[in-house]
Amino acid sequence: DSGVTQTPKHLITATGQRVTLRCSPRSGDLSVYWYQQSLDQGLQFLIQYYNGEERAKGNILERFSAQQFPDLHSELNLSSLELGDSALYFCASSVGVTGELFFGEGSRLTVL
């Protein structure tokens, strides 16, 4: 158990819909990261928050947005969903700047 909690574990929705994925980091970790894992793209970094502020942005689509709340949990919002958004979305957290991340078990999104 990494200490990072993600909900929901599985989500099935239709094209055009909007979903929210939630992540609770390890106790004490200030950084939260979102990654997307798909068969064709591999593990892609989406976005990082540090203590409530956006710190780094990767290959995140404009239809996607995220935020980190004062209690340090984070939410990833995916809107106008397309079939190609079907993937496993991972949240990870870290305490410092060495790049050692602790991953949740992921949220599997299926868009039909």
Partner 1 sequence: AQSVTQLDSQVPVFEEAPVELRCNYSSSVSVYLFWYVQYPNQGLQLLLKYLSGSTLVKGINGFEAEFNKSQTSFHLRKPSVHISDTAEYFCAVSESSGDKLTFGTGTRLAVRP
Residues in touch with partner 1 (CB under 8 A) = 2, 4, 31, 33, 35, 42-43, 45, 48, 56, 58, 90, 92, 94, 96-106
Which lies closer to partner 1 via its Cβ, residue 20 or residue 103? 103
Q: Which amino acid is at 102?
A: F
Nearer to partner 1, 89 or 111 (CB): 89
Which residues of 14-63 form beta strands (DSSP E)? 19-24, 31-38, 42-50, 53-57
> CB-wise, 17 or 59, nearer to partner 1?
59
Q: In whole angstroms, how close is the CB of 80 to partner 1 at the nearest point?
A: 26
- HSE-CB for 87 with a 13 A CA cutoff: 21
Query: Parallel, antiparallel, or unpaired: how do β-strands 19-24 and 102-103 relate?
Result: unpaired
Q: How far apart are alpha carbons 64 and 46 in whole angstroms?
A: 9
> Nearest distance from residue 16's CB to partner 1, in Å?
28
